[in-house]
Structure 1
């Protein structure tokens, strides 16, 4: 006994004593784990329920929650708690205390539903719009109309005000008449000649209310362009929170979805102060679609002013307020009419969003066209707006609302989630929030309370027990992506003035839902796409950021904490402010490398446009370009300026190295840390890869790390390339370091495999957990899904876990390892070999190594398969069992139509095809 104990003790000392030396993985913090948006329906929460659900979330591998109160379930009105009431604040305090005990974090929305607003937003502070009315008047004609607001919805508002009145004759000569209108609307002016058209602009209100509001959160949406409105809004939180932040890590503001908000009470004065001229004489060019150059210039100035107002008056005030509470803030800038890069840069945690499903080439990946959004496909370059702002400015965390409407309700498997979250990581984002989890009281029957937009990360989900597979994968990956700092080498300027100069329309909102209109057709986007696929790593940069940039060892740096970039690219554009060109040339003067895709021909805006255009041309002419093959090249001070329509040729001339690993089809994102670099590499191709891939940085030791199971080992290196083995759908982290650690074992490369052992013997199929009732146990002579047994109705409606059990007589055990490979798995499985937990199979390719759990002779293999919720929900709808009964939108399908699963086909569930046990031999 003593000898055995000594042996055990020495093994334990070895395992833990050398853990830090052996383990290359960064520490998995609460921030590295995935977080989830946590909807409080009606805020009908209590301490018992909060305790239970937080514990459940923690056990599943979540690092934090983001509280968003929304509309409630019918029949529970007596349990509703008003947002920010003393009782609500008590529940918040309980939540943060409990989360802290579980080492979890808590964020909360500064509002209920979305967009930001509520009962504290009075008419004065509500979202504001222009109301434009036109009139005609002839010389010597009595103008009998009164210039008063005709809109019936607006007429009774107290804050309505006539803001601008301007008349134009047939020669487009303007006369300002604002002070010629009496309080009763009488116009005290007659033209002496000609026909005139009068434009009257009133300060009106959008009258939009908060969408999906929770009790105590209903009211007007906020005027984001008014500093007073923002400060008034936040005073309500000051009253509720006092001097405490109640343990809230970050205050969250959802995407800007304020419709028709295109004005604010002091817009006219702000415009003159910021743009240098009075808008009133040019108001017709703003309010009408007009193809003239002057219309484009006026509209550009208007849009730029809107952008500055939302940054200065809302976003920066929101950030400062959060800091006054010793908290951070999180903001989704997309959807707004502001410069997204500057908006994201103005907060602590910039947050983007994915919506819909991406087509991937991963072998075996499910993607049923009937179950996905037809219009919305997540775009990696749209995601890069948030990560670019963070990388350039040196912000540690970039978050993302992930998996919104990934598929139809109840039809999302964790295998479908994996490549989608990988694309988010590849964009540079490193802090994902699942969308999402709904709080459910303990006494609510299956499927519990659910939010109307999928995906459903809820404990009632029949796949819940296997969610730790996805969550641990995310946690390991994010532990790496939150380490060090971004290592992108290129900066590319976003020519936003080309968007703002469009003479059509009025305000321009940069939404994720219409990038096919404003982003994808541009040369800017084509550069992002082409350069990214070619192996270059890049971040976007704004005019404001360029104005702050300095040189650091000939590299461009906007912030000391931010990235350091080898070259600045100015893509093909029409409009460039002369001030931005001056800043660019200053960077070149001090040693920067710049690539222009074309000569900027024009400046945006109306004020002194001819003089500013002349200044732009003079600055451009100061660049001493000389022909150099297909390029024009200039030495400018200590730097270089290249003019080339082909950006890649310019980069090649400057000897800016791309990562050639992308030639294989692999995707990557790179981070740098003290003494080395991390590469996160994903195989979204249909190919299996077993080859050496080149890396621009190797260091003295390269360690391969598997984010799915935590395995690691020293890789084989040859001529600045690293040997990898990646099947379709797999990913890998490469840690290249100047430091060496001899205690790290070698990576296990598969050298060969032997003929597979087909597990075609009898299987026992039993059931646990799930409903509406457990199907009967049975013996299978052939492996097949339990939904094949149509003679038993319960197999068609069951959602839960079925256990396939068999015994295997292993005549010899001489391979280095054994891989259990699934043909068809619906949808994920826990594998138990000889009563030992071998792990979860949840993603493509569906396989797992089980060699260390096998023994020579008789082996028992259990495969606990969990299926989708779909069959049980379909059964409930067929039998008219009430389960959705909410206020507001209630429950809708992926096309926002009333949800009905009664006609769904039965989803195959369990195992199908062959299961192979493959003997594996590693290279020595």
Structure 2
């Protein structure tokens, strides 16, 4: 890793992979055993010896939990049960074997239509009692109660005894997950699963403690809810508990809001903030993925020292990723967190082993364009050097020494380091704010483990958010904390999108923002409802009055939709920070500012070479522009200094990124004329020799074709060396001498190529365009080109002869029954899915045209 310029490691410990083999000194250690502590300490020391950062994911697997978590402190899962009764009557019900778990609330109410009448609701929780069998509690029953005349509904909320456990843990790590709403639950986990590790490894050796995404299922309750609800909301929840699932006339959304708001506050305070506090106690910082939580998502991310997003699935494209990235970035900006991290390349392709370095580069650029400035590779899953025992993680891109292209990963690693360096300088420049409609989601969602990020993404819609971003208006998501302190931020425009409910205090701050010159644009409608049950009517009336007055005074504009109409209004009131004239759907930007410089990251996330005009609004300083992939300065072809900024014309190669740095002491770059259309000088498509010593293979090709077509190489993954000797005639030599630039161009590469001309290394091609500059490397007479091509790992992995090594019976010396483990290993570890999904090998080597072209 160090040789590949990777700066640190995050150790995450999951399920065991192999059986114990004493003769090979292979031993699996139990979670929190002495051997477990020793291996973590060893890894931390080895990282420190190399000057590398060492981070640790607490627990074995996720969510946090383990065998030491008592049931009373674990995550609660409540389900509603209802019984329809017509009165008048006396009602009794034996619920033994009907419901399973603890009844946390029970109400009776009269129904009219599909709504429960609030004035008829009776709390009958005390009438739900244990039923005994020979003095043993055996079940549950509802004692006799009198039902008035009419149709009634009895509703019971039952906390199930079947609670979520830790997912895919190491042996000894199985157990219940924590209650993310309770400080004492988190502290119990840290007492057993955190403190001993720090003690064993040594305080200060672990720089970051990491919390993975909040993947809890059904965790929708906490035993402290009733008390906390009363303190925070000012009334009792239990009589109105039915509103969390059904309809109580006139108050459903208000009660749901108050419930969700209370759960949100508890998880931010008692989990996210408390975890960071513990990290500081241990001399470390927290790095937290908050996606998956039901809390105020910006507060949740912002509670971490390093908020972390995630890139999940085939996201090597330019698109705002609200669910896993943009919210984390916004939290970093509004809560002033200088480093915003990202778990990158998770499931970048499915099936595995088909990811190319080009895919990774494009995905990294997509991540940067959302504002991330630290990349965590996902990942370098441990594997032995022996290919026959390669153990690849099921969800990651296989970025390690077993991959065919690992030798060239350093090129990407250096690129990522350079971009992160510049993206961590100064402060982000963001003047547009999008207010998050979190209050509407809380009010409209029944009892659930609400995934706030997903709900926000669904409500706002990608087309809307992408439209704003790609129109040149780089934005932050903001919440009530930001608007209450709007003077502390640099936003000049606020967008209200899909926002019906808003706290009165926030609406008053929006009015204040507008009165001081801020622009307020509401898509389709103005917020018109308050939040929660207390003082709902009067607060709603005041919100409506403020909205009406702002519209009448011209301090708030309402657009007809959240798409084109919204963009038109934005363009009317302000100019984009950066304007991409020709390809805004594939070219994006990020803007940061230091005391002396304006820094812009520009990226073309597409397979096409393009000519682009970019306008940097309000900038008139000198600048330089370079490609962070190779550090070389980039030519510009037009420079226009206007009253409102600078226009630059530049060529962007496929998947190329540029850094523009403006500064008072930087001279303007020289303007280079655009080169004329390329001319073909030499056709080199025929007469190549391919050698693969590992397979004792050598063949001369008149017409190039992929080596996967050779029977003995069909499933070969690795490198192959192509070579060609050719003559340059006097006329061709003169054409080369007259050229400004000489290029070697290849039509197809599968998937990486290392180029040598006359024994001189030229470059490694890891992405489109498949061309390299060979100016000055050719000579009149005989020349030689050598190309080492590297294909993808997938071909080896679908080889019918490639071993899966899955034992179908109990493994020898395995310390516990292995039926469940074998199923987990079969599902997660081996390559049967690849064989099912990929029937033919991927193209390998080089094929098609090979040409030398010239530009004048």
TM-score by length of 2: 0.87
User: Which secondary structure state, in structure 2, belongs to the residue aligned with residue 798 of structure 1?
Assistant: coil
* 1:545-560 equivalence runs, <5 A: 545-551=482-488, 557=489
Rounded to whole Å, the distance in 2 between the matches of 1:570 and 1:754 is 54
Q: Which residue of 2 aligns with 1:629?
A: none
1:490 is the counterpart of 2:432: yes
1:178 is the counterpart of 2:125: yes
- Taking a change above 3 Å as real, the CA distance of residues 747 and 738 of structure 1, as seen in their structure-2 partners, is farther
Of the three residues 86, 96, 117, the one matched with 2:34 is: 86
1:190 is the counterpart of 2:132: no
Of the three residues 445, 470, 476, the one matched with 1:539 is: 476
Rounded to whole Å, the distance in 2 between the matches of 1:826 and 1:624 is 59
Rounded to whole Å, the distance in 1 between the matches of 2:576 and 2:440 is 30
Gaps of at least 5 residues in structure 1 are 1-56, 155-159, 362-376, 552-556, 558-563, 627-632, 635-640
Of the three residues 701, 710, 718, the one matched with 2:622 is: 701
1:205 Cα deviation (Å)?
4.3
1:380 Cα deviation (Å)?
5.8
- Taking a change above 3 Å as real, the CA distance of residues 422 and 511 of structure 1, as seen in their structure-2 partners, is farther
- Taking a change above 3 Å as real, the CA distance of residues 144 and 801 of structure 1, as seen in their structure-2 partners, is same
> Is the contact made by 1:891 and 1:899 (CA closer than 8 Å) also made in structure 2?
no
Q: How many residues align?
A: 803
Q: Which residue of 1 aligns with 2:749?
A: 825
1:673 is the counterpart of 2:673: no
Worse overlay, 462-471 or 319-328:
462-471
Worse overlay, 70-79 or 888-897:
888-897
Rounded to whole Å, the distance in 2 between the matches of 1:325 and 1:134 is 48
Rounded to whole Å, the distance in 1 between the matches of 2:725 and 2:302 is 59
> Is the contact made by 1:713 and 1:747 (CA closer than 8 Å) also made in structure 2?
no
1:912 Cα deviation (Å)?
0.2
1:868 is the counterpart of 2:792: yes
- Taking a change above 3 Å as real, the CA distance of residues 590 and 183 of structure 1, as seen in their structure-2 partners, is farther
* 1:336-485 equivalence runs, <5 A: 336-358=293-315, 379=321, 383-407=325-349, 408-442=351-385, 444-446=386-388, 448-485=390-427
Rounded to whole Å, the distance in 2 between the matches of 1:438 and 1:524 is 35
Rounded to whole Å, the distance in 1 between the matches of 2:108 and 2:265 is 29
1:573 is the counterpart of 2:499: yes
User: Which secondary structure state, in structure 1, belongs to the residue aligned with residue 617 of structure 2?
Assistant: coil
1:653 Cα deviation (Å)?
4.6
Of the three residues 658, 661, 671, the one matched with 1:732 is: 658
Q: Which residue of 2 aligns with 1:163?
A: 104
1:388 Cα deviation (Å)?
0.9
User: Which secondary structure state, in structure 2, belongs to the residue aligned with residue 805 of structure 1?
Assistant: strand
1:304 Cα deviation (Å)?
1.6
> Is the contact made by 1:132 and 1:202 (CA closer than 8 Å) also made in structure 2?
yes
- RMSD of Structure 2 on Structure 1 (CA): 3.1
Of the three residues 228, 231, 240, the one matched with 1:273 is: 231
User: Which secondary structure state, in structure 1, belongs to the residue aligned with residue 680 of structure 2?
Assistant: coil
Worse overlay, 215-224 or 197-206:
197-206
- Taking a change above 3 Å as real, the CA distance of residues 89 and 64 of structure 1, as seen in their structure-2 partners, is same
- Taking a change above 3 Å as real, the CA distance of residues 544 and 524 of structure 1, as seen in their structure-2 partners, is farther
Q: Which residue of 1 aligns with 2:267?
A: 310
> Is the contact made by 1:357 and 1:378 (CA closer than 8 Å) also made in structure 2?
no
1:822 Cα deviation (Å)?
1.4
1:142 Cα deviation (Å)?
4.8
Rounded to whole Å, the distance in 1 between the matches of 2:293 and 2:97 is 28
- Taking a change above 3 Å as real, the CA distance of residues 383 and 624 of structure 1, as seen in their structure-2 partners, is closer
Rounded to whole Å, the distance in 1 between the matches of 2:836 and 2:142 is 62
Rounded to whole Å, the distance in 2 between the matches of 1:462 and 1:446 is 15
1:806 Cα deviation (Å)?
1.8
* 1:643-792 equivalence runs, <5 A: 643-645=558-560, 646-665=565-584, 666-685=587-606, 687-712=608-633, 715=636, 717-719=639-641, 720-740=646-666, 750=675, 753-768=678-693, 774-790=695-711
Rounded to whole Å, the distance in 2 between the matches of 1:541 and 1:273 is 27
User: Which secondary structure state, in structure 1, belongs to the residue aligned with residue 839 of structure 2?
Assistant: coil
Rounded to whole Å, the distance in 2 between the matches of 1:741 and 1:723 is 17
> Is the contact made by 1:430 and 1:478 (CA closer than 8 Å) also made in structure 2?
yes
Once the two structures are superposed, residues 335-360 of structure 1 have per-residue CA deviations (whole angstroms, 9 ceiling, x without a partner) of: 22222222111111111222221485
1:61 Cα deviation (Å)?
2.6
1:619 is the counterpart of 2:546: yes
1:135 Cα deviation (Å)?
4.5
Q: Which residue of 2 aligns with 1:321?
A: 278
Q: Which residue of 1 aligns with 2:212?
A: 254
Q: Which residue of 2 aligns with 1:335?
A: 292
- Taking a change above 3 Å as real, the CA distance of residues 500 and 292 of structure 1, as seen in their structure-2 partners, is farther
Once the two structures are superposed, residues 851-874 of structure 1 have per-residue CA deviations (whole angstroms, 9 ceiling, x without a partner) of: 254445433321111111122222
Rounded to whole Å, the distance in 2 between the matches of 1:439 and 1:611 is 61
> Is the contact made by 2:750 and 2:790 (CA closer than 8 Å) also made in structure 1?
yes
> Is the contact made by 1:765 and 1:802 (CA closer than 8 Å) also made in structure 2?
yes
Once the two structures are superposed, residues 581-604 of structure 1 have per-residue CA deviations (whole angstroms, 9 ceiling, x without a partner) of: 022223344554333343221112
Once the two structures are superposed, residues 612-647 of structure 1 have per-residue CA deviations (whole angstroms, 9 ceiling, x without a partner) of: 212323433554724xxxxxx13xxxxxx4444444
1:382 Cα deviation (Å)?
5.1
Q: Which residue of 2 aligns with 1:11?
A: none
> Is the contact made by 2:797 and 2:834 (CA closer than 8 Å) also made in structure 1?
no
User: Which secondary structure state, in structure 2, belongs to the residue aligned with residue 347 of structure 1?
Assistant: coil
> Is the contact made by 1:316 and 1:347 (CA closer than 8 Å) also made in structure 2?
yes
Rounded to whole Å, the distance in 2 between the matches of 1:319 and 1:903 is 44
Once the two structures are superposed, residues 374-404 of structure 1 have per-residue CA deviations (whole angstroms, 9 ceiling, x without a partner) of: xxx9836752111111112221121222222
Rounded to whole Å, the distance in 2 between the matches of 1:98 and 1:294 is 59
- Taking a change above 3 Å as real, the CA distance of residues 457 and 618 of structure 1, as seen in their structure-2 partners, is same
User: Which secondary structure state, in structure 2, belongs to the residue aligned with residue 501 of structure 1?
Assistant: helix
User: Which secondary structure state, in structure 2, belongs to the residue aligned with residue 721 of structure 1?
Assistant: strand
- Taking a change above 3 Å as real, the CA distance of residues 685 and 134 of structure 1, as seen in their structure-2 partners, is closer
Of the three residues 572, 594, 598, the one matched with 2:520 is: 594
> Is the contact made by 1:381 and 1:427 (CA closer than 8 Å) also made in structure 2?
no
Q: Which residue of 1 aligns with 2:447?
A: 506
1:170 Cα deviation (Å)?
4.0
1:191 Cα deviation (Å)?
2.4
- Taking a change above 3 Å as real, the CA distance of residues 585 and 474 of structure 1, as seen in their structure-2 partners, is same
Of the three residues 119, 143, 147, the one matched with 2:67 is: 119
> Is the contact made by 1:116 and 1:222 (CA closer than 8 Å) also made in structure 2?
yes
Of the three residues 790, 801, 815, the one matched with 1:879 is: 801
TM-score by length of 1: 0.81
Worse overlay, 379-388 or 324-333:
379-388
- Taking a change above 3 Å as real, the CA distance of residues 871 and 691 of structure 1, as seen in their structure-2 partners, is closer
> Is the contact made by 2:93 and 2:143 (CA closer than 8 Å) also made in structure 1?
no
Rounded to whole Å, the distance in 1 between the matches of 2:838 and 2:606 is 35
Asked which structure has the greater RCO (Cα within 8 Å, sep 6+), the reply is 1
Rounded to whole Å, the distance in 2 between the matches of 1:656 and 1:883 is 61
Rounded to whole Å, the distance in 2 between the matches of 1:536 and 1:678 is 16
1:745 Cα deviation (Å)?
8.5
- Taking a change above 3 Å as real, the CA distance of residues 488 and 381 of structure 1, as seen in their structure-2 partners, is farther
> Is the contact made by 1:452 and 1:891 (CA closer than 8 Å) also made in structure 2?
no
Rounded to whole Å, the distance in 1 between the matches of 2:157 and 2:286 is 36
- Taking a change above 3 Å as real, the CA distance of residues 622 and 424 of structure 1, as seen in their structure-2 partners, is same
Worse overlay, 798-807 or 236-245:
236-245
1:888 Cα deviation (Å)?
5.3
Of the three residues 185, 189, 194, the one matched with 1:229 is: 185
Once the two structures are superposed, residues 6-43 of structure 1 have per-residue CA deviations (whole angstroms, 9 ceiling, x without a partner) of: xxxxxxxxxxxxxxxxxxxxxxxxxxxxxxxxxxxxxx
